[in-house]
Chain A
């Protein structure tokens, strides 16, 4: 399937698929380079899936939950208790549960697309989505910090307490760079890079298997089995990373929010 998008290859050379092959032609208008793409469709689908599932699960509101409600409560309770409550703390974590919950399941579903045959495109392997979410989080935690501490927040966030004055000229620029410049970049690129790498590995493995199978040499044909075994192992690893990255992104968001809320005690 992937090979359809690859340039024509003779049997002698193997041309690995690159970044370009990750950007499939648009669906609407069909085949255009810039239009409504598969990635956009999947993002919209993910919103529908998540909203439908959780509204169905939460709708009945029974004290003794059924299977669907129990699953929904487990998922919701995981973000609410294991991320929001544990990181932000018992007093004002509830305000941030919706954001963390939306982030976690939005990223989770869009990542897991990469592990589903035929769909096989993690939405965040395209960097735009990761930039948007990281920006939303960036604006949110800076907003929380300013709302909580006023403009003094920037001093609290960049001048650590208990540091001798003669080290401050070194520490303050480092803090500014790490907190306000590097943080959103790493936050978005971490998600994007892991998803893109995973997607790329699956693509390369797929095209590699196809290339080997097409060879006339029987030994080379047989070697495709090795690639297949490796590809399955990588697939499992990628599935793990997809879940893990959703968790890491949400956890970091919670940590940033907590840092902004309690800037005076850091």
Chain B
């Protein structure tokens, strides 16, 4: 059976046309078909796809550019804001420092002023007291004699202007003094 198969196959191969010999009509159809396809591809398919690709790339790149611009703007705004904040902080610090310095100065001034005022007031008081004392001394000087005399007059109850009586009083006074001293001597 094997023999038969092999012989049949060999016979078939011998009868076969050479597979490497082409059919010219088939070649023509393939060439024409491929030419038509190539023409359609060159004319329509590739340009249409490329146009779509280009448009899409442009759209995406445009979007990216827009986003990048927005990003740049946002970061610029942030930077500006940060700068402003920093400036404001510095300004506030400066103002605070100034206020503190000013306050200290005002306080010092007030202290000096108060000290000067108190000194002035003390001095004035001293001066017033002195002048009042002087005035008192003067008035005392002028009034003490009169007052003493008046007082003496009242105490004595009589006018010492009567010379006789005055002499008598003095005598009596002297006598009293003598007796007192005699009694003391004894």
The answer on A and B forming one complex is yes
Chain A residues close to B by CB (< 8 Å): 12-16, 18-20, 22-23, 34-37, 39-40, 43-44, 46-47, 50-51, 54-55, 58-59, 61-63, 65, 69, 72-73, 76, 80, 94, 97-99, 101-102, 105-106, 123, 126-129, 131-133, 136, 189, 196
A16-B12 contact given A54-B45, A76-B45, A98-B46, CB 8 Å threshold: yes
Interface CB pairs A-B, < 8 A, 5: A15-B5, A15-B9, A16-B8, A18-B16, A73-B52
Cross-chain contact A20 with B17 (CB below 8 angstroms): yes
Pick from B5, B15, B48, B55: contact of A58, CB under 8 Å: B48
A200 to chain B, nearest CB (A): 10
Cross-chain contact A18 with B21 (CB below 8 angstroms): no
Cross-chain contact A131 with B27 (CB below 8 angstroms): yes
Write the B3-32 contact mask toward A (1 if CB under 8 angstroms, else 0): 011001100110111011111111101110
Q: Which residues of A contact B25 (CB under 8 A)?
A: 34-37, 40
Dominant secondary structure at the B interface: helix
Cross-chain contact A20 with B15 (CB below 8 angstroms): yes
Q: Which residues of B contact A47 (CB under 8 A)?
A: 33-34, 36-37, 40
Q: Does B59 contact A (CB under 8 A)?
A: yes
Q: Which residues of A contact B15 (CB under 8 A)?
A: 18, 20
Write the B87-128 contact mask toward A (1 if CB under 8 angstroms, else 0): 000000000000000000000000000000000000000000
A123-B46 contact given A20-B12, A55-B40, A62-B52, CB 8 Å threshold: no
Whole-angstrom CA separation of A189 from B22 in the bound complex? 12
Whole-angstrom CA separation of A131 from B20 in the bound complex? 10
Cross-chain contact A127 with B42 (CB below 8 angstroms): no
Q: Which residues of B contact A43 (CB under 8 A)?
A: 26, 29-30, 33
Cross-chain contact A58 with B23 (CB below 8 angstroms): no
Cross-chain contact B49 with A63 (CB below 8 angstroms): no
A61-B48 contact given A20-B17, A23-B17, CB 8 Å threshold: yes
Whole-angstrom CA separation of A65 from B56 in the bound complex? 10
Q: Which residues of B contact A58 (CB under 8 A)?
A: 44-45, 48-49, 52
Taking A34-B25, A105-B37, A128-B26 as known contacts, 20 extra A-B pairs with beta carbons closer than 8 A to each other, sorted by chain A number, are A12-B4, A15-B5, A16-B9, A18-B16, A19-B13, A20-B15, A23-B23, A35-B25, A36-B25, A43-B30, A43-B33, A51-B40, A51-B45, A54-B45, A55-B45, A61-B48, A98-B45, A101-B46, A106-B34, A132-B30
Q: Does B41 contact A (CB under 8 A)?
A: yes
Q: Does B38 contact A (CB under 8 A)?
A: yes
Chain B residues close to A by CB (< 8 Å): 1, 4-5, 8-9, 12-13, 15-17, 19-27, 29-31, 33-34, 36-38, 40-42, 44-46, 48-53, 55-56, 59
Q: Which residues of A contact B59 (CB under 8 A)?
A: 63
A13-B1 contact given A58-B48, A129-B27, A132-B31, CB 8 Å threshold: yes
Q: Which residues of B contact A80 (CB under 8 A)?
A: 49
Q: Which residues of A contact B9 (CB under 8 A)?
A: 15-16, 18
Give 6 closest A-B pairs by Cβ, nearest first: A128-B22, A58-B48, A129-B30, A128-B27, A128-B26, A40-B29
B15 to chain A, nearest CB (A): 7
Pick from A16, A19, A101, A126: contact of B45, CB under 8 Å: A101
A196-B30 contact given A40-B25, A55-B45, A76-B45, CB 8 Å threshold: no
A97-B33 contact given A19-B16, A127-B20, CB 8 Å threshold: no
Closest B residue to A9 by CB, please name it. Answer: B8
A98-B41 contact given A61-B55, A128-B27, CB 8 Å threshold: yes
Cross-chain contact B49 with A73 (CB below 8 angstroms): yes
Cross-chain contact B45 with A127 (CB below 8 angstroms): no
Pick from B13, B21, B36, B51: contact of A61, CB under 8 Å: B51
A105 to chain B, nearest CB (A): 8
Closest B residue to A129 by CB, please name it. Answer: B30
Q: Which residues of A contact B44 (CB under 8 A)?
A: 55, 58
Cross-chain contact A19 with B19 (CB below 8 angstroms): yes
Cross-chain contact B49 with A15 (CB below 8 angstroms): no
Cross-chain contact B46 with A97 (CB below 8 angstroms): yes
Whole-angstrom CA separation of A80 from B16 in the bound complex? 42
